[in-house]
Structure 1
Amino acid sequence: MAHPQEDTLLAKQITPTPMRLLVLDVLRRQSAALSLADVEQQLGHADRITVHRTLKTFTDQGLVHRVEGGSGAVKYALCDPACTPEHHQDLHAHFFCTRCRETSCLPAVAVPPISLPSAYQVQETSLVMKGLCERCAAAAETMQ
């Protein structure tokens, strides 16, 4: 019987390898988007190139999406199951907390459509808001 994480990889035409299964497990256990360094830290002694290639494969196959913004580091989060290698469906906002430095996906907050001149060809859209996350805002309130 296949492991659910193996099924997840196979559904995206990704060959399950021990490293890919470990990286997927790390991403599934987190509520915030993770940088390459965050994933490496969670894995302990993992080869940086292998982790980077794994995240690239996951992105290329529509399993994760890249989040650029906030901390200056590219971060990765699991995609909506409808994402494909050709088209990511993750047109939602992201939030970068200036206190705890976590980047969170906000799937209920859609990126509004933006009209551009016809000569422009959009390849990627992102919306990153910055401020205090729910947890940090609550902590700030209790300190006042």
Structure 2
Amino acid sequence: MRSPLEDILIAKQITPTAMRLLVLEVLQQHAAALSLADVEQLLQPADRITVHRTLKTFTDKGLVHRIEDGSGAAKYALCEPTCTPKLHQDLHVHFFCTSCRETSCLPTVAVPTIALPGAYQVQETSLVMKGRCPRCADSD
């Protein structure tokens, strides 16, 4: 009998391996987006290249999305189930907390559509807001 994690991978046409199952489990256990270094640290000992390839596969298959939050390291968060390899449905705002340095997805806050002049063709849109998350703001 397959586990629910295996079912998730198979649904995205990803062959379940021990490392892929571990990385998926780590991503599911954390509400905030995680960097490669975060995942690697949580899975110690883990081979950095294998973790990197796993995250790339997950991104390519529409299981996770990559977030550039300005912290210097890309972060990864689980996608909505409707994402596909060609069309990520995660066009939402991300929030980077300047205190705890966590990046959170805000799926109920859509990135606004911006009309560009002339022949500009948008290939990717992201919006990262920065400030203090509710947990850090409450700690004052």
TM bucket (normalised to shorter chain) is over 0.9
What pairs up with 1:113-132 in 2 under 5 angstroms?
113-132=113-132
Partner of 1:51: 51
Q: Percent identity over the alignment?
A: 76
Q: Deviations over 1:38-97 (max 9, x none)?
A: 000000111110000000000000000000013121000000001000000000000000
Indicate yes or no: 2:139 matched with 1:139: yes
Match status 1:93 vs 2:93: yes
Report the residue type matching 1:99 in the other structure.
S
Structure 1 stretches of 4+ with a deviation exceeding 4 A read none
Partner of 2:74 in structure 1? 74
Secondary structure of residue in 2 paired with 1:76: strand
Does structure 1 residue 112 correspond to structure 2 residue 106? no
What's the TM-score, normalizing by structure 1? 0.95
| 1:7 equivalenced with 2:7 (yes/no) | yes
Q: Partner letter of residue 30 of structure 1?
A: H
Alignment correspondent of 1:102: 102
Q: Displacement, 1:118?
A: 4.3
Larger mean CA deviation between 36-45 and 64-73 belongs to 64-73
The 8 Å contact of residues 70 and 103 in structure 1, kept in 2 or not, is answered as: no
Q: How far does residue 121 in structure 1 lie from its aligned partner after superposition?
A: 1.9
